[in-house]
Structure 1
Amino acid sequence: MENQYCKVGSVTSILAGKQAITLLEYQYQCFMERASNIKYSNTKLGEFFELKAKKTKRRLEELG
Structure 2
Amino acid sequence: MEKQYCKVGMTKPITDGEQTVALLEYLYQNFMDKASHIQYANSKLGEFFEQKALKIKRLLDDNSI
Aligned to 2:35: 35
Aligned residues: 64
Amino acid at match of 1:53: A
Q: 1:23 is matched with which residue?
A: 23
Task: Tell me the secondary structure at the aligned position of residue 4 of structure 1.
Answer: coil
Report the alpha carbon displacement of residue 60 of structure 1 after superposing the two structures with TM: 1.1
Q: 2:44 corresponds to which residue?
A: 44
Query: How far does residue 63 in structure 1 lie from its aligned partner after superposition?
Result: 2.9
1:21·1:63 contact (CA, 8 Å) conserved in 2?
A: no
Residue deviations 1:1-29 (CA, integer Å, cap 9, x gap) = 22111111111111112110110000000
| Partner Cα distance (2:22, 2:14) in 1 | 11
Judged with a 3 Å threshold, the aligned counterparts in structure 2 of structure 1 residues 17 and 63 are, in CA distance, closer, same or farther, namely: farther
Q: Which residue of 2 aligns with 1:58?
A: 58
Q: Which runs of 5+ in 1 are unaligned?
A: none
Deviation at 1:62, TM superposition (A): 2.9
Runs of 4+ in structure 1 deviating by more than 2 angstroms, as ranges, are: none
The TM-score, its normalising length taken from structure 1, stands at: 0.91
